[in-house]
Amino acid sequence: MDFSARQIADFLKGEVEGDPDATVRDISRIEEGKAGTLAFLANPKYEKHLYTTGATIVLVNMDFKPSKPVSCTLVRVEDAYQAIASLLELKEQMKPVPSGIDAKAHIDPSVKTGKNVYVGQFSVISAGSVIGDGVLIHPQVFIGENVVIGANTVLRAGVKIYGDCRIGEECHIHSGVVIGSDGFGFAPQSDKNYKKIPQVGNVVIEDRVEIGANTTIDRAMMGSTIIRRGVKLDNLIQVAHNVEIGENTVIAAQSGIAGSTKVGANCMVGGQVGIIGHLNIAEGVRIAAQSGVGISVDEKNAVIQGSPAFMYGKYQRSYVVFKKLPELYQKLAQLEKEIDDLKGGR
């Protein structure tokens, strides 16, 4: 379906600069733009592509001033990044939504399902579970006993949810996610073996949470592992037993949080971050990629980096020094040699 620059500007409450009747039918990256596509420019370092792109329409910020002539039509908006997100959401909503329960799915007779639920091939919903209105359960999903899934949540193919877990409304859980597997609880014995500690709690995921592919969230030993509303977890993240992640916190791929740590609301955690157990991370803390957090962070909105992690400003100043350590070592060795030579010449 084609959309004109005028229609796009009206939808985004923007302004057209160029041909208002220019039309597009797809979206592209600005550096790969082709005729008939719409691109966007939000990051200034991509500006050079604006002057060579083949895209027909490009979204830019209201205050953007091109440094060269532009051949494409511009649609000026308050925030180009937010605008492209709105258009991508609209495009996603236009896709056909699957419906009905496949004959090859297995649903226990005791399961309660709401209206407009979709269950794909070879999915299993176990006894006592409750599935809300508009839930989409794609093929090969396993849902254990007494699980509750809120309205309009999407479970992508291959998701596994162990028994007694609670999933909120409007969540999006991607393929390969495992929710409610046993926490890593083992008690050392006198014979140097380890005795497994039963994990009898569950996982509670509140509303509007998104969980990336192959992420795992362990059930609590007792009580609940809790993911608060609005949290966004990337792919390949490990959340251990009894962890609590605060509202609207975002965590990038390959990060891991050990047991019983509490992460505050509105935190930002970079990729490959490791956080040990039984810590408290204050609200609004930002943790740079590949950091290792070994102590609690009590200061709200702190920015930390390094392994072990400490305050970002101090880390940057320290980095200036320790990256020069090989040179300093050579100078020190040379000074020691000169001192030894002077002593030997007495």
Could you report how far apart the first and last alpha carbons of the chain are, in Å? Answer: 92
Q: What are phi and psi of 32, to 5 degrees?
A: -120, 15
Whether the Cβ atoms of residue 228 and residue 283 lie closer than 8 Å to each other? no
Whether the Cβ atoms of residue 23 and residue 3 lie closer than 8 Å to each other? yes
Active site residues: 241
Distances (CA, A) of 207 to 77, 199, 239, 248, 293: 30, 24, 18, 11, 28
